[in-house]
Amino acid sequence: MTTRVGVVTFPGSLDDRDAQRAVRLAGAEPVSLWHRDEDLHQVDAVVLPGGFSYGDYLRCGAISRFSPVMTTIIEQAKLGMPVLGICNGFQVLCESHLLPGALTRNDSLHFACRDQKLRIENAGTAWTRDYSAGQEIVVPLKNGEGRFVADAHVLDELEAEGRVVARYLDVNPNGSYRDIAGITNAAGNVVGLMPHPEHAVEPLTGPTTEGLGFFTSVLKQLVNA
Amino acid sequence: MSLDTVKNAEQTPDAAQPWAELGLKEDEYARIREILGRRPTGAELAMYSVMWSEHCSYKSSKVHLKQFGEKKPDSDAMLVGIGENAGVVDVGQGYAVTFKVESHNHPSYIEPYQGAATGIGGIVRDILAMGARPVAVMDPLRFGAADHPDTRRVLPGIVAGIGGYGNCLGLPNIGGEVVFDSCYQGNPLVNALCVGVMKHEDIHLAQASGAGNKVILYGARTGGDGIGGVSVLASETFDDTKPAKRPAVQVGDPFQEKLLIECTLEIFREKLVKGIQDLGGAGLSCATSELASAGSGGMRIDLDTVHLRDNTLSPEEILMSESQERMCAIVEPDKVARFLEICEKWDVIANVIGEVTDGERLEIFWHGELVVDVPPRTVAHEGPTYQRPYARPSWQDALQADAPTGERLARPTTGEGLKADLLKVAGHPNQASKSWITDQYDRYVLGNTVLSHGEDSGMIRIDDETNLGVSVATDGNGRYAKLDPYTGAQLALAEAYRNVAAGGAKPLAVSDCLNFGSPEDPDVMWQFAEATRGLADACLVLGTPVTGGNVSLYNQTGEVAIHPTPVVAVLGVIDDVTRRTPVAFAEEGQLLYLLGDTADELGGSAWSQVVHDHLGGLPPKVDLERERLLGDILIAASRDGMIDAAHDLSDGGLGQALVESCLKGGHGARIIVPEGTDPFVFLFSESAGRAVVAVPRSEELRFNDMCTARGLPATRIGVVDGDSIDVQGQFSVTLAELKDAHTGVIEALLA
Amino acid sequence: MARVVVDVMLKPEILDPQGQAVQRALPRLGFTGIADVRQGKRFELELEGPVDDAALARIREAAETFLANTVIEDFTVRVEEAAK
């Protein structure tokens, strides 16, 4: 049976088609999910793609978080369904309180688009099991509000529990605390990531193909489950 | 206050009207009275004044623009030509591509962020209105001196506006230009280009036909944006409880535009529209009159049904409003319900505001009263035409006589001198890395970007399965055009053509943005006449028709005009994007060949500007047959795997091209100056029709044979090697030194 | 220390996309009866010296030239009681 991975389209989602392409290249079937639809159409996992949902007005992800589809996703995530939030999707996960912390304006005050080196810190999540801990990868990064912040207590807890999934190497592009590029929940099924692995899945269009591992990881997780 | 209805206009023929304040000439006002057989109403006067403005009617330029049609080359690729929102080109496999470059210069100077942002919004809607999904944008930008305080105000705002709007739309920004020159102080040029893709059967046109079909206005609500000019009228007929000043600036909402794009594409997929037009300059006046004029002629509009953001707007203001993110569609009655349903799905406001009639008049009602009753063609397509006087400027001869000879401008004579000038040119803001700017744009979104910033052209894949792709390059050189506008325009085309070919794509079509000073100045008008003549002649030779574009006049402060700046965009097609040729020298040991001939041509060059702050002489000569041959060779070599890198030679000459290709690839080069060639001319001349290519050793024989057989001079000048550029017998400069000079320049000035 | 508050709002006739997006979301979340939303910026300026006419004039100048973009924004300046 083909694994079905849902990709949500909010008003203002931009990287939804890219995420679908990445899911397809990883060998799963992408399923388009509409923000107004509570039904997840029997998907096995969900990707919340990048973009500027609702224009990122008010706060990034703040309005999308209340869409009908998120009600179901939050329920299912708590029951263990793998959910990956990329960029704006990460912001939605934080606003939904599925992940701690928040994403704020880059310290440079500029939107930044660059090929970013990362270190995978936790290769045990649903979305990173195809990597090895300590592995270095390069994927695109593009955000204006990607600076991960949380209070010291939360940061210490994330570190202590090994919930930092990826960290920026060489350059911290947005001033994220402790160079954090991505985190997971305690169960390891919900991952939020600021950089864009879905833009590094083909040699023709990406700086590398090192982003594909996020999408193959979840496939393995689901097949083995 | 009484409403100025048609009836009222008939009864008060002698009422004074502010036609002069609205920018109309006396004879134009008389002509309007003649067309209507009475004085116009306030709303009619507003419509005519804005539609007959230079910006909308091209009244000064159209006698010259005609040449693009008259000298149009035969091309099988043209599906839709000049006159629509944008031209459409056949790229094979059932796909059609539409593209257009347009200016948003004046608004971007007043409010840089919003001016640049709404410039993107406008061009994207033009492309969307053709039936295409917008897939990429590019921005050719020109600013005053990089170290001028006002550049610090204007540039960051413009760049942030382009990024803020374009990134939020999810359109990759894949190229463009950034040029600094004090002639643009006070008149920055913000040109914006968009490319869209569709299937042949999806082409839509801006026309209203079929009596009974509904006119639907959808998108953002209508507010008082950009009606500054018409407030002259408003002040007459309004009480003073309203905002005293209407904003001249429009504010963009990219989120609304993104919804508008997705909503419109879904409407196209279900084939729900007969005709469509975006709302840009002159808003509803323009859209209704153009739709009706291009259709059967008759349309009736009820302005009370327009969804307003500001309920105090008068009918004149509603007609003139330039509120962004709006479209106007012609829909058959039985498809209206489904149309509105799709709008609702995307949270897009939509209203039926009128219908197509079987008459020949555009009739507009307000509170049940007829306020506009005009033949739409007279508004939209039959505006005034001027034969502006023009004459070769008195200073042109002296400028051309001031050639940058060795006697006039000191040239470096030692290796160290050459090295110093190479670093100066590479480190000047015009040649330096633009990454501080381009890193604020998303180049990855949509996942089809094959080539982007720092390459000769931007290239995108349009079909995942077949790898069909298109590429676009924009070029313009105001310095060349100032020295000789005819040649300068041709050089802009030649460079864009060469850039597209260097990436491996076959050039197909042209869009142009003609940025000039005041047409009322005969010097400027001569520059315009010469540039258009040059461009039309060159398009005929290269077989690339002009499909559309835009003219921006009055780019001047007081008596001083900008350099004449024709910006030319060339669109090309490539059957297999995996065969693209990047600029980077990525393989050690590959052989470097210089294609074309190098002459002592330094007029208007980057070297003369950077080292001597000089502009004089003649620009490089143009040989269009040579350009075509060079293009053919670059395309064939790319397709057959004979070259792994190619970089066109333009500003800064060979030296600058080597710097860029070496830095991009992270490899140095050992270069030998060909016998009998002056090392300075070799490195800094800007002779056209040239490129440098990297040839794998295994392909050298085949590549040489091809060049020989086709008659293209190809000179082996060195090899990719080491971590410095080593010009043998002259100087050696490390990549680290070059990087130091070439990067960080813009941010040091602006950040 | 004295605090001066500068509120910067888009001029009423200028489109406020952020306010509109918030306004459209409110009813979906059950917050009805709100006719319009406009979003602005609030700057809190802590003065070193007393709030006198000269200081306020300087702040107005700062607001006019720097804090607000008067092409599209209005601003108001008001003194807030010192925090205890």
Q: In this predicted model, what pLDDT tens digit does every residue of B140-184 receive, in sequence order?
A: 999 999 999 999 989 999 999 999 999 999 999 999 999 999 999
Catalytic site residue from A35, A145, A196, A210: A196
Please, which chains are in contact with B (at least 3 CB pairs closer than 8 A)?
Answer: A, C
Residues of B within 8 A of C12 (CB-CB) are: 243
Model confidence at B231, in pLDDT bands (50, 70, 90)? Answer: very low
Residues of C within 8 A of A11 (CB-CB) are: none
CA distance A49 to B620: 50
Tell me whether residue C72 is in a domain: yes
Contact C39 A66 (CB under 8 A): no
Tell me whether residue C62 is in a domain: yes
B97-120 residue pLDDT tens? 999 999 999 989 988 999 999 999
Give the pLDDT score at B243.
42
Least confident of B29-43, B91-105, B720-734, C43-57: C43-57
C64 to chain B, closest Cα gap in Å = 15
Model confidence at A84, in pLDDT bands (50, 70, 90)? Answer: very high
Residue B394 tokens read as: 């008195």
Question: From C40, which residue of chain A is nearest by alpha-carbon distance?
Answer: A58
Residue B591 predicted with pLDDT over 50? yes
Alpha helix ranges (H) inside B381-518: 396-401, 415-427, 435-438, 478-483, 485-502
Tell me whether residue C45 is in a domain: yes
Give the pLDDT score at B246.
53
Residue B127 tokens read as: 């492309």
Give the pLDDT score at B247.
59
Model confidence at B229, in pLDDT bands (50, 70, 90)? Answer: low
**Who contacts C33 (Cβ-Cβ below 8 Å, separation ≥6)?**
none
Least confident of B32-46, B281-295, B606-620: B281-295
Please, which chains are in contact with A (at least 3 CB pairs closer than 8 A)?
Answer: B, C
Instruction: Determine the average pLDDT of the residues in B263-267.
Output: 97
A72 to chain B, closest Cα gap in Å = 20
Residues of B within 8 A of A199 (CB-CB) are: 444-445, 447
Instruction: Determine the average pLDDT of the residues in B351-373.
Output: 96
Tell me whether residue C32 is in a domain: no
Residue C53 predicted with pLDDT over 60? yes
Residues of A within 8 A of B448 (CB-CB) are: 205
Q: How many CB atoms lie within 10 A of CB C31?
A: 10
Contact B111 C69 (CB under 8 A): yes
The secondary structure of B175-227 as a DSSP string is EEEEEE-GGGTT--EEEEEEEEEEEGGG---S---STTPEEEEEESPB-STT-
Give the pLDDT score at B310.
86
B449 to chain A, closest Cα gap in Å = 6
Q: Establish if A10 touches chain B: CB-CB under 8 angstroms.
A: no
C49 to chain A, closest Cα gap in Å = 31
Q: Is residue B319 classed as helix, strand or coil in its secondary structure?
A: helix
Give the pLDDT score at B241.
41
Per the annotation, the verdict on A110 as an active-site residue is no
Give the pLDDT score at B30.
96
Active site residues of B: 55, 104
Please, which chains are in contact with C (at least 3 CB pairs closer than 8 A)?
Answer: A, B
CA distance B457 to B501: 9
C23 to chain A, closest Cα gap in Å = 10
Contact A199 B447 (CB under 8 A): yes
Say which residue the tokens 């709006």 belong to. B326
Share the mean pLDDT of chain B.
94
Give the pLDDT score at C2.
85
| Contacts for C26-33: CB closer than 8 Å, 24+ residues apart | C28/A66, C29/A66
Distance of CA A10 to the CA centre of its chain: 15
More confident residue, B245 or B304: B304
The whole domain housing C64 covers 2-14+40-80
- Using CA atoms, how far residue A112 sits from B164, B173, B476, in Å, is 11, 13, 27
Tell me whether residue C61 is in a domain: yes
Q: What percent of chain A has pLDDT over 90?
A: 91
Residue B524 predicted with pLDDT over 50? yes
Least confident of B216-220, B513-517, C48-52: C48-52
Model confidence at C20, in pLDDT bands (50, 70, 90)? Answer: confident
Query: Is the CB of residue B748 less than 8 Å from the CB of residue B681?
Result: no
Give the pLDDT score at A57.
85
Q: Is residue A115 classed as helix, strand or coil in its secondary structure?
A: strand
Instruction: Determine the average pLDDT of the residues in A145-172.
Output: 96
Of B110, B247, B347, the CB nearest to C11: B247
Largest CA distance in chain C: 48
Largest CA distance in chain B: 89
Catalytic site residue from A121, A145, A198, A210: A198
Residue C21 predicted with pLDDT over 90? no
Instruction: Determine the average pLDDT of the residues in A172-195.
Output: 97
B556 to chain A, closest Cα gap in Å = 31
Say which residue the tokens 């793998």 belong to. A82
Sign, Cα dihedral of B343, B348, B353, B358 = negative
CA distance B67 to B83: 14
Q: Establish if A198 touches chain B: CB-CB under 8 angstroms.
A: yes
Residues of A within 8 A of C25 (CB-CB) are: 54, 58, 63, 66
Instruction: Provide the number of CB pairs (under 8 Å) joining chain A to chain B.
Output: 87
At C50, which CATH number? 3.30.1280.10
Tell me whether residue C55 is in a domain: yes
Per the annotation, the verdict on A87 as an active-site residue is yes
Question: From C37, which residue of chain A is nearest by alpha-carbon distance?
Answer: A58
- The total number of structural domains that make up chain C: 1
Tell me whether residue C20 is in a domain: no
CA distance B433 to B389: 42
Q: Establish if B347 touches chain C: CB-CB under 8 angstroms.
A: yes
What torsion, rounded to 10 degrees, do the Cα atoms B372, B375, B376, B382 define?
-130
Instruction: Determine the average pLDDT of the residues in A205-220.
Output: 96
Say which residue the tokens 């008149």 belong to. B187
Catalytic site residue from A35, A87, A199, A210: A87
B226 to chain C, closest Cα gap in Å = 10
Give the pLDDT score at B244.
41
Q: Establish if C15 touches chain B: CB-CB under 8 angstroms.
A: yes
B715-733 residue pLDDT tens? 999 999 999 999 999 999 9
The secondary structure of B541-563 as a DSSP string is HHT--EEEEEEE---EETTEEPP
Tell me whether residue C50 is in a domain: yes
Model confidence at B238, in pLDDT bands (50, 70, 90)? Answer: very low
Give the pLDDT score at A1.
64
Residues of C within 8 A of A55 (CB-CB) are: 17-18, 21
Give the pLDDT score at B245.
46
Residues of A within 8 A of B446 (CB-CB) are: 17-18
Contact B223 C13 (CB under 8 A): yes
Q: Report ipTM for this prediction.
A: 0.96
Residue B235 predicted with pLDDT over 60? no
Residue B233 predicted with pLDDT over 70? no
Q: What percent of chain B has pLDDT over 90?
A: 88
Residues of A within 8 A of C29 (CB-CB) are: 66
Contact B444 A52 (CB under 8 A): no
Residue B705 predicted with pLDDT over 70? yes
More confident residue, B87 or B663: B663
Interface test with C, best of B154, B222, B227, B251 (most C CBs within 10 A): B251
